[in-house]
Amino acid sequence: MEEQELKDGLGKNIKFFRSCRELSQADLAEKAGISITFLSNIERGNNFPLAGTLCNLAKVLEVEVFELFKGDLVPSDSKEVISQLSRDITKKIDVAVADIFKQYLG
């Protein structure tokens, strides 16, 4: 594997997990203690983070560090579909929980 392939794969995976968690670049960058510009460069494969930053990103994304380096997690044409499904399911759960609270808490 070439260095650029490693950077590109890492960036795509971070963006994928960020999208699945419905985090903006600003949110993830703040929680991981890095700048939005640096995160953007990582996601585009232009920069490679130090080990501590990788650990912080993985923690915020709720994944293990090694998962950030896995090969294509999902074929690229399916990633947006999965992200949208995740957003839809989260919204439905939020509505259901709100309904339960209204029903039992008045």
Alpha-helix residue ranges (DSSP H) falling in 1-106:
3-20, 25-32, 36-43, 51-61, 76-105
Q: Tell me if the pTM is above 0.85.
A: no
Residue 28 has pLDDT above 90, yes or no: yes
Hey, how many other C-beta atoms are within 10 angstroms of the C-beta on 50? 9
Give, as one character, the DSSP assignment of residue 73.
S
**pLDDT tens column, 42-80:** 999 999 999 999 999 999 999 999 999 987 655 555 666
Only one residue has tokens 């670049």, namely 25
pLDDT at 75: 55
**CA–CA dist 8, 77 (Å, integer):** 17
Q: Which of 21-35, 59-73, 82-96 has the lowest mean pLDDT?
A: 82-96
pLDDT at 78: 63
